[in-house]
Amino acid sequence: MNWLTDAHIHLTDPEFESDMQYILTGMDKMKIRACCVSVDYASSLLTLELSKRSRLVQSFVGLHPEKANEDLESMTELIENNSKRISGLGEIGLDKIYALDDAGFHRQLFVFHKMLSLAEKLGKPVSIHSRKTLDEIFSTLSSYSLKGILLHWFAGSKKQLDKAMDLECFVSYGPAMIYSHDKQILLTQTDLNKILLETDGPVRFSKCFGSKTTQITFLPSVLFCVSHVLHRSYDEMLGILENNSNSYLGV
What span, in angstroms and rounded, lies between the C-alpha atoms of 38 and 11?
Answer: 9
Angle at 148 between CA 147 and CA 151, to 5 degrees: 150
Residues 6+ apart with CB under 8 A from 212: 204, 205
Position 212 scores a pLDDT of 81
- For 90-106, the pLDDT digits (tens) are 999 999 999 989 999 99
Position 86 scores a pLDDT of 98
The domain total for the chain is: 1
**The pairing of beta strand 4-9 with beta strand 126-129:** unpaired
- For 149-195, the pLDDT digits (tens) are 999 999 999 999 999 999 999 999 999 999 999 999 999 999 999 99
Output the CA torsion sign for 209, 13, 227, 150.
positive
CATH code of 176's domain = 3.20.20.140
pTM of the model: 0.96
What span, in angstroms and rounded, lies between the C-alpha atoms of 88 and 239?
Answer: 22
pLDDT band at 49 (very low <50, low <70, confident <90, very high): very high
Helices assigned H by DSSP within the chain: 20-30, 41-53, 72-81, 102-122, 134-141, 158-166, 181-188, 219-229, 234-249
The yes-or-no verdict on residue 21 having pLDDT over 90 is: yes
Up-side HSE of residue 87: CA atoms within 13 Å toward CB? 28
Residue type, 167: L
The yes-or-no verdict on residue 207 having pLDDT over 90 is: no
Q: Give the structural domain span for 29.
A: 4-249
